[in-house]
Structure 1
Amino acid sequence: MPSLDVPALVDHHCHSVVAADLADDALAGLLTESDRPPAPGTSPFDSALGLAVRRWCPPALGLPVHAPAADYLARRRELGAAEATRRLLAVAALDTCLLDTGLTAAAGHPLLPLSEFAEASGARVREVVRLESVAEAVPALAGAWPAAVREALAAAATGAVAVKSVLAYRHGLAVPAERPGRPEVVAAAGRRLRAGLGRLTDPVLLHHLLWTALDVCAELGLPLQLHTGFGDPDLTLHRADPSLLADFVRAAEPSGVPLVLLHGYLD
């Protein structure tokens, strides 16, 4: 038979992996976004994702297809996290991974940094900058917040391949077609400063941040990824409906910035 040209596989939205050996319950917990316990007599390995893991992952570790979850977990422990990770990523045969660095830990354990993930996967790894994480790290007085955020985002996105927003998790995707005015933004930044900073949830600041990202992406020639959410416990699902972005998408079109919906209907 003639050989087939296999296209390069690009994961356009991924996260790094836990570097540590996890307890069985902790590892199984990574198979679900739910913060509730599984139904009596079941485990996350009984979910659709759990069944997919049992179908595709055991052979990479030297076990038969659909090996029992207990056997799979025991084999992971035997190999150790580093070797299991290396084998599983190798089987994925990814050419390029676009990795969101805004998620830095899972199950209470840190994730591999970009360079170590690249070494473990054998793939080219490029950074996707998480917008809200950059803004939350900006230590600025209220009046300086808009300029400081823009400067910080431009610096963080230089060398990255995309900027990503998790606005869906913070307030929802109903973004007005008009930019918030500077007095409104400064007042909101002042309220946040007096409240002790922390997680960015103010809709005025979030909407200003999204427009700032659009400007920076236009300057750097980058796409803007928008996480739409899919049932995580820290969002309200109807507020993560991508159709709520319609006004913003129309207003953003003249910028020429590609908008990428993550976990949308066709993702």
Structure 2
Amino acid sequence: MIDLSGIAAIDQHAHNLVRSDVAAATPYVCAFTEGYDPEVVHHHARSTLFYRRSLRDIAQLLDCHPTEAAILDRRSQLGLEALTRCCFEAANLQAVYLDDGFLPDTILPWEWHQQFTSIQRLLRIEWLAEQLMNQVDRFEIFLEWFRSELNPPPKGVVGLKSIAAYRSGLDIQSIPLDLAADRFYALKEQYPEQIRLSDKALIDFLLHEALAIAAQYHLPVQFHSGFGDPDLDLRLANPLHLRPLLENPHYRQVPIVLLHASYPYTQEAGYLASVYPHVYVDTGLAVPFLSVIGMKRCLEMLLELSPTSKIVYSSDAHLIPELYYLGAKWGRAGLSQVLEDAIQSGDLSAQEAEEAAIDILWRNAQRLYQPFL
């Protein structure tokens, strides 16, 4: 089996850890499921293969018994900083790119994470729009402010991120200015205190604005695609819906990164990466959330058609530092298995497989984001 443990990875999409008080008030098992219904959390999530495998992995890392109680006790002994350092060192990460628009009121600042590795930011488009909409009442002022926040890209931001798949789906259309303005005022009336940007027309309009600016700088834009928590309509998260954007000649200079292997639309994502020069696909969430067989099958589907120069590693880690470690452990293990199979089947030579591993684990991400580091 190919040994990839010595290759330091770039985790090109993850999230800030939550504060210690938030973690203490959150059931540990919540980090191992995309469900949030109490019945799922308390009665079913501990029966997943991911959770049961992860207890053994974490216990081995922390040198304790493979039970949730023992792990929680060991975590408490270590404290968050020591625990995070242990997980990051074991993950062998040379850099992490954080989307800090997830649970923004509960997370540690991105600067806190810099003590463990090199950290860069991913700016969540919908989060930015919500912050600005809460502060202004006129659409013209909002739009000018929104554009100015993106142009030029803020210092430390290496890419943009969209959760349109969660809010309204990936079938993103061109929207007239007057309709966007109407929807702005409708949302202001619907949410007089704290805006939740959920209107499809306004989201689509703002994405086109952001993509136009990204095109000026060749700034990568990441799109959530595929599975996630129940707030998402999975049917609308199929990356094939993005075809109008991918065919738009104005955005051919924007690297589009499909997150989460677009699972279960993984073959579709691999196809898009194979035919559009500006489309890439990452492995996060599918690795490590799937079973061992599922992770291997997912990576195999990506490699069926997608060039190895178009696949990037990520963990989509969030809430707890253990997910950074689990993503890296199984990202390398799954990739090693798939590349070994490719050697045995004659698809790759041993040297080509090693180069592919380097590309996927860090070199492709470096090529994408280097201009903004």
| TM-score when normalising by structure 1 | 0.85
Match of 2:78 in 1: 79
Equivalent residue number for residue 250 of structure 1: 247
Q: Deviations over 1:87-136 (max 9, x none)?
A: 1222111111011011145xxx72221121121xx211100000001111
Structure 2 counterpart SS, 1:132: helix
Q: In the superposition, relative to structure 1, how do residues 170 and 41 fare at CA in structure 2: closer, same or farther (>3 Å)?
A: closer
Q: CA deviation at 1:250?
A: 1.0
Identify the residue that residue 233 of structure 1 maps to in structure 2.
Answer: 230
Structure 2 unaligned runs (5+)?
271-282, 284-373
Task: Give 1:11 deviation, angstroms.
Answer: 0.6
Equivalent residue, structure 1, for 2:196: 199
Larger mean Cα displacement after TM superposition, 25-34 or 151-160:
151-160
Q: Distance in 1 between matches of 2:5 and 2:225?
A: 34
What amino acid sits opposite 1:118 in the alignment? Q
Contact 1:228–1:240 (CA under 8 A) maintained in structure 2: yes
Measured against aligned partners, the alpha-carbon deviations of 1:150-201 in whole angstroms (never above 9, x if no partner) come to 112336644310000000111111112xx31222222222222232261011
Which residue does the alignment assign to 1:184?
Answer: 179
> Relative contact order (C-alpha < 8 Å, sep 6+): which is higher?
2
Q: Which runs of 5+ in 1 are unaligned?
A: none
Alignment-derived partner of residue 154 in structure 1: 151
> Are 1:145 and 1:189, in contact at CA under 8 Å, matched by a contact in 2?
no
Q: Which is helix-richer, 1 or 2?
A: 2
Matches within 5 A, 1:1-267: 6-20=6-20, 22-23=23-24, 26-38=27-39, 44-63=45-64, 67-105=66-104, 110-119=106-115, 122-138=116-132, 139-140=135-136, 141-154=138-151, 157-176=154-173, 179-195=174-190, 196=192, 198-251=195-248, 254-263=251-260, 264=262, 265=266, 267=283
Root mean square deviation of aligned Cα: 2.6
- 2:365 — aligned with what? none
Distance 1:24 1:156 in 2: 36
**Shift of residue 17 of structure 1?**
1.2
Paired residues in the alignment total: 256
TM-score, normalisation: structure 2: 0.62
Q: Do the aligned partners of residues 253 and 5 (structure 1) sit closer, same or farther apart at CA in structure 2, a change above 3 Å counting?
A: farther
* One-letter amino acid of the structure 2 residue matched with residue 181 of structure 1: P
Distance 1:70 1:254, change over 3 A: closer
> How far 1:233 sits from its partner (Å)?
1.2
- 8 Å CA contact retained: 1:142, 1:193: no
How has the CA–CA distance of structure 1 residues 260 and 41 changed in structure 2, closer, same or farther, with 3 Å as cutoff?
A: closer
Letter in 2 for 1:193: K
Amino acid at match of 2:259: L
